[in-house]
Amino acid sequence: MEFTTDQKLYAEIVQKAWEDATFKQELVANPVAAIEKFTGKKMNLPEDKTLVVRDQTDESVVYINIPATPKKSVDVELNEEQLEAVAGGIEGPGGCTPTFPFPWIPTLPELY
């Protein structure tokens, strides 16, 4: 399975936050500035959007993310690649099984 540029960037940001407590604090406090500093590129975040980062590393807490209500219900079947990912999965650091793109957060805006 090939990762997109956004997926790779997301993974790099998470890895950096896991390894660098100062970066994690900056990312939570001011995500756009922290990501721009990390990548060396300006983010093109739409004016009507806000980027929010929550530190969910406390293993004694269960977090539930409530996404926006879907605008249109679509009955879609999974393609072969998606079925394979669901059936076999991939294991990431800490035993978590990430799915890309993450369905509960929008993709990162392109960096320019």
- Looking at residue 5, what is its pLDDT? 84
Which pair of tokens denotes residue 89?
Answer: 């999965």
Question: Quick one: the chain helix, strand, coil %, rounded to 5?
Answer: 40, 0, 60
- Looking at residue 112, what is its pLDDT? 45
Query: Whole-model pTM?
Result: 0.58
Residue 16 lies inside a defined structural domain of this protein: yes
- Looking at residue 75, what is its pLDDT? 65
- Looking at residue 54, what is its pLDDT? 93
Which pair of tokens denotes residue 25?
Answer: 């604090």
Residue 19 lies inside a defined structural domain of this protein: yes
Residue 68 lies inside a defined structural domain of this protein: no
Which residue range is the domain that position 47 belongs to?
Answer: 5-57+75-95
Query: Angle at Cα 6 formed by Cα 51 and Cα 60, nearest 5°?
Result: 60
Q: How many domains does the chain have?
A: 1
**Exposed, middle or buried by CB within 10 Å (0-12, 13-18, 19+), for 34?**
buried
Residue 105 lies inside a defined structural domain of this protein: no
Residue 67 lies inside a defined structural domain of this protein: no
What does pLDDT average to in each consecutive run of 10 residues of the chain (112 residues)? 82 95 96 94 90 92 88 73 72 54 52 48
Residue 22 lies inside a defined structural domain of this protein: yes
Residue 100 lies inside a defined structural domain of this protein: no
